Amino acid sequence: MSSNMTRIPPAEVTGIYGAMVKVFAKKMMGRVPESVGVLWNNPAVMKDAMGIGRKTESWSELDRDLASYAAMAAAATIGCSFCLDFNYFMGHNHGLDATKIREVPRWREATVFSPVERRVMDYAEAASQTPPAVTDELSDALLADLGPAALVELAARVAFMNMSARMNVALGIHSEEFADACGLPPLAERPTAREAVGDTA
């Protein structure tokens, strides 16, 4: 990714906190993403956003696989290539089934997901619409599937991904190909709206 693809030029990451950010990034991803420089233009915003992200990792009511599928389905709905690539990379590192996780962008057409997994991704997509389009029927089904604590966590994880994904898209932050660097097969392509409903022309 070249820095001229972002809408705000990356700033040099400096200072004690900047050094900590770079160490953390290298430990997690093997290198410092160029997107860190974009967010470093406002270190307070980046620090608080990263803090929320770290706190979400301590939540445990929702199954880790379901949480990953939900985050990726929300990112695919919004169109955040950085979020999709990063979550694919992290899911692989956490031992998720790469065959399944790479199919999340086209989960409606894929045959590898269970009914509960499909409902979770349906919820993530619906909650990521503007305005949100979660139905009582879908919520009731997931309440029965997951229980109230996990459903609250699902809603919160999708909301946090919406914050991150919409910010990245608005700033012009794109995939930095972490998954490709690990030799993972490419993510499945999300169907276009026309493909999803069928070509009736």
Per-residue pLDDT of the chain (201 residues), as tens digits, is 444 489 999 999 999 999 999 998 898 888 888 899 999 999 999 999 999 999 999 999 999 999 999 999 999 999 999 999 888 888 877 888 888 988 999 999 999 999 999 999 999 999 999 999 999 999 999 999 999 999 999 999 999 999 999 999 999 999 888 766 555 666 778 887 545 545 443
CB burial of 92-125 (b: ≥16 within 10 Å; e: otherwise) equals beeebeeebbbbbbbbeebeebeeebebbbbbbb
With beta carbons less than 8 A apart as the criterion, state whether 187 and 110 touch: no
Of the CA atoms within 13 Å of residue 29, those in its CB half-sphere come to 21
With beta carbons less than 8 A apart as the criterion, state whether 184 and 92 touch: yes
- Looking at residue 58, what DSSP letter applies? T
Alpha-carbon gap, residue 97 to 174, rounded angstroms: 24
With beta carbons less than 8 A apart as the criterion, state whether 168 and 83 touch: yes
Tokens 């290198």 found at: 31
